[in-house]
Structure 1
Amino acid sequence: MANFKNYGGYSTSFIHSALPVSLPLLQAEQQADLAPVEGSPNNLAHYINYSLALSQSRGFPYFVAANIDGRLFKKVSRTDNWRKDSRISAVHQWGEELYKARKSDFDKGHMAKREDVQWGQTVLEARAAADTTFYFTNAVPQRAELNQQIWADLENYILHTESVPNNLRISVFTGPVLCPSDPVFVTKVLGKALQLPTLFWKVVVFTKDEEKLYRVGFLMGQEQLLRKAKIVKPKTVKIKVLATERFMEFEDAETYQVNIGTIEELTKLILPAAQDIYQDDRPTKLVLEEVDLNARLATPEAIAELGYRIPNLVI
């Protein structure tokens, strides 16, 4: 039995006591749609080093907020101990009944990455934090072909190459775009029609000088992958929001850097305030480049350690 009292959750003062990073703000209708969480007056589900807001109508999070401390990262073994959160009604969470359903050809996509929160003063603390990422509340169906490498490495890249050596702390906000026009899964689950998110977003907040906060945003899509695998039903109506030329890029399972305003427009969330670094209305597809072994000697130590760079990332 989990000791939820030890789940401190996301900290707004994590980066610096003088630079608080608030949680995303929900619209009134989103707030009313939050799944009730036992013991939480604001219906936020707190885990170790991260928190989330779960939509009861969709069974997926509106957002997941995580604190990452690279200095305290520990290597631990992976458990894969997926389970539902007992503080939340099972009817508001999708579990194995979704991921083992017919045509469920997708992964349990972590919103808060296991490695992101896998830190603490001791290995035991890091292992406990990593284990809490295996609640189904933190999972959203994602096709395995998604461009996970860049998506997964963004935080580490910013953490190890852009933050100053004495301040290796960042806050990351992630989630699916829960759009009313999301396509419907071809298999009913527990007798219910289920809409699958096609877009995922990530916002990284950090500081370079301990005087100002900066933020960068990213989007990734999987609509074409879902439709190609015939996991979702064919379109019957034209999607007004995503059919615009502006958002068509995000169907192709690549990772794009975008304006924070684009993410706010899609999610209807108000994201924590910070200085926007990327201010181009045109999304930029990110490219991951392996660092040549000989070239590593001439690169910054952190890039050499990671073995890659993202040359067109604006931070």
Structure 2
Amino acid sequence: MSETPTAEVAAGTVTAVAAAADLSDRAGYDPGFLAPGPVVPLPVPTDGTAVVVLPYTHFSVVLRPDRRLAAATAVTVDGAALRDVERGGDGWFLDPRVGPDAQAGADLYARNDFDRGHLVRRRDPVWGGPAEARRANADTFSYTNAAPQASGFNQSLELWLGLEDHVLAHARGHDARLVVLTGPVFADDDPEYRGVRVPRRFFKVAGYLLGGGATGGATGAGGPVLASAGFVLDQTPLVEEVLRSEAAAQHAPELGAFRTFQVPVADVAELTALDLGPLVAADRMPALVPAASAEGDGVPMWRPLTAPGELLL
């Protein structure tokens, strides 16, 4: 998703470069990145939906050709090795490994109020050596890593865009690494626009390690244990506004039209029909939400968020 600048970067600044035409050497997402924690596999559909896995630098895209958008993305974030890549010269490109009819390109975003929203945030995979960081930065501009987002949604989401930062800061005392899964929540009734059905909601699931003795959860013999947190963002009112009028840029909807929720990771798995592996059982939210004192008196499991301090991590 498009992002606001952040100052939390490791020393070292490199210059952005154009994406390489040949992506055949990309290693992609590393399921074992959180070692000594468990393997967190790439999310794949559980309902038999056909997908194509496209590896990039430090992340992978699980592309749904029938929707021309990613079903999910998975990125590894090394908070101790992030680099600041200067903006400039960044160009969106079609991935040459799949046909143009399998990915939504520039035509979807031209002359309207939809932004090309990064699914993998531009800065998340930008770590490692200078050349490695440059490749990762350029790779995030593949159209397979974009999704149509109403501009009021995409440009005003400091909370949504900074969720990884808040989770990383929480985990930093134990382990400065994250895996982040992001993608659309597809629905059969998503409205069609220029040959692409526009998703109304997006999900994000972050996985990280916590020291076993301090978390109150399973200790794993006192060592670090896997923890996770799930989020859903709803842009329904803004999508409807854009589709009602091509003049939406001159009549922007209210900024309150998007909503961010912390949700059970199990709900994300059910909504998306994706296998989220051990992240479902590692969810911090059920353990931290107070149990119902009487039938019907429980705390709603979808928690609307308005500030970072409301996150349950």
Category of TM-score, reference length = shorter chain: 0.7 to 0.9
For 1:138-217, what aligned pairs fall within 5 Å after superposition?
138-146=145-153, 147-164=156-173, 167-185=175-193, 189=194, 193-209=195-211, 210-217=223-230
Q: Residue by residue, what CA displacement relative to the aligned partner does 1:239-261 show, whole Å, maximum 9, x if unpaired?
A: xxxxxxxxxxxx94121100112
CA distance in 1, matches of 2:107, 2:44: 31
Distance 1:262 1:228, change over 3 A: same
2:264 matched residue in structure 1: 259
CA distance in 2, matches of 1:95, 1:230: 18
Find the residue that maps to 1:157 and give its secondary structure: helix
CA distance in 1, matches of 2:134, 2:157: 23
Distance 1:28 1:226, change over 3 A: closer
TM-score, structure 1 length as denominator?
A: 0.77
> Which runs of 5 or more structure 2 residues have no equivalent in the other structure?
1-19, 212-222, 247-255, 290-299
> Over the residues paired in the alignment, what is the CA RMSD in angstroms?
2.0
For 1:2-21, what aligned pairs fall within 5 Å after superposition?
2-21=21-40
After TM superposition, give the deviation of residue 106 of structure 1 in Å: 1.1
TM-score, structure 2 length as denominator?
A: 0.77
CA distance in 2, matches of 1:18, 1:271: 15
Please tell me whether residue 87 in structure 1 is matched to residue 85 in structure 2: no
CA distance in 2, matches of 1:254, 1:264: 19
User: Is residue 183–residue 232 contact of structure 1 (8 Å, CA) maintained in 2?
Assistant: no
1:107 matched residue in structure 2: 115
1:23 matched residue in structure 2: 42
Considering fraction of residues, name the structure with more strand.
Answer: 2
After TM superposition, give the deviation of residue 145 of structure 1 in Å: 1.6
User: Is residue 33–residue 76 contact of structure 2 (8 Å, CA) maintained in 1?
Assistant: yes
Find the residue that maps to 2:181 and give its secondary structure: strand
Deviation above 6 Å: which 4+ runs of structure 1?
Answer: none
1:68 is aligned, of 70, 74, 77, to 77
After TM superposition, give the deviation of residue 270 of structure 1 in Å: 1.9
The aligned amino acid for 1:173 is L
The aligned amino acid for 1:76 is V
User: Is residue 222–residue 252 contact of structure 1 (8 Å, CA) maintained in 2?
Assistant: yes
1:118 matched residue in structure 2: 126
2:55 is aligned, of 39, 46, 54, to 46
Return the structure number with greater relative CO, CA threshold 8 A, min gap 6.
2
CA distance in 2, matches of 1:142, 1:8: 28
Find the residue that maps to 1:145 and give its secondary structure: helix
Find the residue that maps to 2:274 and give its secondary structure: coil
2:6 matched residue in structure 1: none
User: Is residue 150–residue 242 contact of structure 2 (8 Å, CA) maintained in 1?
Assistant: no
User: Is residue 66–residue 172 contact of structure 1 (8 Å, CA) maintained in 2?
Assistant: yes
- The percentage of counterpart residues that share the same residue type is 30
2:235 matched residue in structure 1: 222
CA distance in 2, matches of 1:84, 1:231: 28
Find the residue that maps to 2:239 and give its secondary structure: helix
User: Is residue 226–residue 232 contact of structure 1 (8 Å, CA) maintained in 2?
Assistant: no
User: Is residue 105–residue 231 contact of structure 1 (8 Å, CA) maintained in 2?
Assistant: no
